[in-house]
Amino acid sequence: MAQKWGQRFRRLLVKTMDLPQDVMMDLPRITMIGQLHIYIENHRGLLNFTDTEVRLLLKNGQLLVKGRSFVIKTILPEEIMLEGKIDQVSYINE
């Protein structure tokens, strides 16, 4: 019950104060430049990295990026920038 109330309060706060939803709702922000670069903010950690797959932990679930020739260009505690050929980005709700 308290968790649902907290989510409602955050949504109301986002609408009232005109704040970005990704910040207030703990959602990832994903910016792609074509199929060559992907920049992901607000993740909880890197779970798996190969040259064809990247899996990131989110607050609720995981983010899976598939492709080829992946190189990590930037990695910070809550941000990552990948370069390579991006074929698929999917959200895994676990």
CATH code of the domain made up of 27-92: 2.60.40.2000
Long-range interactions of 54-63: CB distance < 8 A, separation 24+: 54/80, 54/82, 56/28, 56/80, 58/28, 58/91, 59/26, 59/27, 60/26, 60/93, 61/91, 61/92, 61/93, 61/94, 62/91, 62/92, 62/94, 63/28, 63/30, 63/89, 63/90, 63/91, 63/92
Residue entry with tokens 């390579």:
84
The pLDDT of 72-88, averaged and rounded, is 96
Q: What are the sequence ranges of the domains in the chain?
A: 27-92
> What pLDDT, on the 0 to 100 scale, is given for residue 35?
95
> What pLDDT, on the 0 to 100 scale, is given for residue 1?
57
Give the confidence band of 84 by pLDDT, cuts at 50, 70, 90: very high
The pLDDT of 10-39, averaged and rounded, is 75
Asked whether the predicted pLDDT for residue 72 surpasses 90, the reply is yes
Percent of the chain with pLDDT over 90: 67
